[in-house]
Structure 1
Amino acid sequence: MKKEIRLSGSGGQGLILAGVILAEGAILSNLNAVQSQSYGPEARGGASKAEVIISDKNINFPKIIKSDILISLTQKSFNEYSAHIKEDSIVIVDSSIEVNDQIKASIHKVPILQTANDVLKKPMTANIITLGVLSNLIPEINPEHIKIAISNRVPKGSEELNIKAFEQGKVFLKEVVNAY
């Protein structure tokens, strides 16, 4: 088992933290994981991405050339990274994103940003909702281990809200697990 995941969006959406949490959850689940990140020079609003490789074997190269799973929370990040996916990959985009029909992947629109804004009333939870969605796509990682990693990494006092955001994300895409 090896999965290469790219989480992309803009600075300030917390996707780099989500990548760190995902990698920690994988390690707690006795898997190997590497995580890398990049972001534009702007603190907020610039492009950002986190890459996580998870495997039950050694990971010999820590960078992703083509992802198995792509998460995009902005149109700009989708436009940039959708060209770098495997043909049989899963692409998760925020429901606000326009998707190119020529992409050969399983594409799913999920209201991540709307859920963070309207349901949880905290835009900063979009990254943790994303982790809930991802937990359905990577059954090798125990969701309880992701919750531990969330509690270890989010600001003190926000653990309960973030666990709620994770659970909210888990309601999306449960049916995709069987197809992947």
Structure 2
Amino acid sequence: MPKSRIELRFGGTGGQGLLLSAKLLADALALEGRHVAQSQTYEPTSRGGFCNADLVVASGEVDYPLPMEFDHLVLLDKIAIKPSWPRLKAGALVIADTRLCPELPEGAGQRHQLPLSRTAIELGSERVTNIVALAVLVAMTDICKRKSVEQVIRASSPRGFLDLNMDALAAGYALASAPAVLAAS
């Protein structure tokens, strides 16, 4: 049975596909009958400024659409640490890119620094780091079914990116189940 209310953030910089990751996850959750409120903030700089996409997920109506404390935090750039870290719940799951977030503050329950962007680069495009990260989040939390995420990605990916996005999704699932990651849990 899913938790009644889950709050999460995808944080990083503009241009990393954070809003897309949140939308894909929100659509997958909606397919499963969950209620989702999505919000985002970004600095006026379109690329390189702080950006985040937040989701509040509930099994019933979302009573308050903005997150107060994050159950899950996905960090794709160190710029998102300072505004996000103080809002972590005790025991929160943090997934951070090792290359762009080399150091994390103390605290948080489960901290996983993973080669998200390096994995995307090895697939052929850093632009799919957000999809790798989304897959890691889904695999580590079981927030929704993998089948739902795959269905949403297949339906919304431009034809030229479908194979790359599906490869990124598979790579993220594999990354989340790697022995080193499981040992850190």
Report the TM-score when normalising by structure 2: 0.88
Residues 28, 49 of structure 1: CA spacing in aligned structure 2 closer, same or farther, 3 A cutoff? Answer: same
Separation in 1, partners of 2:59, 2:82: 31
Q: Which residue of 2 aligns with 1:125?
A: 128
Separation in 1, partners of 2:15, 2:158: 15
**For residues 52-131 of structure 1, what are the structure 2 equivalents within 5 Å?**
52-96=55-99, 97=101, 98-101=103-106, 103-117=107-121, 119-131=122-134
Once the 2 structures are TM-superposed, how far is the Cα of residue 37 of structure 1 from its aligned partner? 1.3
Residues 46, 140 of structure 1: CA spacing in aligned structure 2 closer, same or farther, 3 A cutoff? Answer: closer
Please say if 1:14 is aligned against 2:17.
Answer: yes
- The residue type paired with residue 100 of structure 1 is P
Once the two structures are aligned, what percentage of the paired residues are identical?
Answer: 28
Once the 2 structures are TM-superposed, how far is the Cα of residue 152 of structure 1 from its aligned partner? 2.6
Q: Which residue of 2 aligns with 1:173?
A: 176
Aligned-pair RMSD on alpha carbons? 1.9
- The residue type paired with residue 8 of structure 1 is G
Separation in 2, partners of 1:161, 1:135: 18
Say if 1:4 and 1:52, in contact at 8 Å, map to a contact too.
yes
Once the 2 structures are TM-superposed, how far is the Cα of residue 140 of structure 1 from its aligned partner? 4.3
Separation in 1, partners of 2:50, 2:174: 27
Bigger relative CO (Cα 8 Å, ≥ 6 apart): 1
Q: What secondary structure, in the 3-state scheme, does the structure 1 residue paired with 2:136 have? A: helix
Once the 2 structures are TM-superposed, how far is the Cα of residue 57 of structure 1 from its aligned partner? 2.2
Separation in 1, partners of 2:148, 2:17: 19
Separation in 2, partners of 1:154, 1:46: 25
Q: Which string of whole-angstrom CA distances, capped at 9 and with x for unpartnered residues, describes residues 124-162 of structure 1?
A: 000111111011133241111111211233323211110
Report the TM-score when normalising by structure 1: 0.91
Q: Which string of whole-angstrom CA distances, capped at 9 and with x for unpartnered residues, describes residues 29-74 of structure 1?
A: 2211121111111111111100112222221111011100001111
Larger helix fraction of residues: 2
Separation in 2, partners of 1:62, 1:153: 25
Separation in 1, partners of 2:16, 2:166: 17
Please say if 1:149 is aligned against 2:155.
Answer: no
Separation in 2, partners of 1:24, 1:140: 12
List runs of 5+ in structure 1 lacking aligned partners.
none
Say if 2:75 and 2:97, in contact at 8 Å, map to a contact too.
yes
